[in-house]
Amino acid sequence: MSLYQLEHLTRAYGRRIVLAIGQLEIEAGRMYALLGPNGAGKTTLLNLLAFLDEPSTGSLRFRGKAVGSDRAERLALRRQVVLVDQHPIMFSTSVAANIEFGLKIRKIDRTARQRAVQAALETVGLERYRAARAHELSGGETQRLALARALALAPTVLLCDEPTASVDTETEKEIQKALDNLVQGRTTIAIAHRLSTLRKADRLVVMDRGVVVEVGTHDELMARQ
């Protein structure tokens, strides 16, 4: 089943078209990796899929329904997706409070919130930092907190701009484990900077200068070389 359908979609800044997609379908439950050079339009596409931005022309459908400009409708759609940024911004409160925030906004009751926070902390291995201030975490721990925050929201779609900053091997493993948990059984679209992510993805979407150049599995794209 198609979760997203994009048709003749463009995004322009002034007169400059930075994204032009003839046709692209994102199937539910699969993992997609976006790749391409800087300026290819990967972030622009991710923001459109997160309903944070609107196309200049063309159509974007989600679960078969055209996504319009209605504010309330867009807000409701935004609750189904989570965008994990390269540089996550945390509140200066505790680690637990940062995870709980999104659940409060979604009006989840206290008991369910606490359960979700605990489970997310355990999944990313940050239980012992529960009461610590989020701003005191290391770079790698902050990335794991961002993943915990996303995990607790149990989104239908995970959109992710993979961090490029190098972390030590141990931290890398922890982050990878947290990410694997998050991706499990969820539609994921990630701007991929790591080879391991490209290998895991069900489909690679190769972009260049605002255009989707190729879509296929890792093996299919290799065979076309």
Q: Per rule CB under 6 A, is residue 140 in the interface with ligand ADP? A: no
**Which one of 42, 113, 149, 200 is in contact with ligand ADP (CB under 6 A)?**
42
Helices (H), the chain: 42-49, 71-78, 95-105, 110-124, 139-152, 169-183, 195-200, 218-224
- Least distance between ligand ADP and beta carbon 209 (Å): 8
Decide if residue 108 touches ligand ADP (CB under 6 A): no
CB nearer to ligand ADP: pick between 164 and 225: 164
Question: What φ, ψ does residue 100 adopt, rounded to 5°?
Answer: -70, -25
Q: Based on CB atoms, which residue is closest to ligand ADP, 116 or 192?
A: 192
Does 12 interact with ligand ADP (rule: CB under 6 A)?
no
CA 69 to the chain's CA centroid? 22
The whole-angstrom separation of Cα 25 and Cα 27 is 6
Q: What are the residues facing 19 on neighbouring strands?
A: 11
Q: Which is nearer to ligand ADP, 7 or 85 (CB)?
A: 85
Interface residue with ligand ADP, options 3, 4, 24, 41 (CB under 6 A): 41
110 vs 141: CA distance, rounded Å: 25
Q: Which of 22, 27, 29, 39 binds ligand ADP (CB under 6 A)?
A: 39
N-terminal to C-terminal alpha carbon distance within the chain:
29
> Which range touches ligand ADP (CB under 6 A), out of 25-33, 35-43, 63-71, 198-206?
35-43
Binding site residues, ligand ADP, CB under 6 A = 13, 18, 36, 38-44
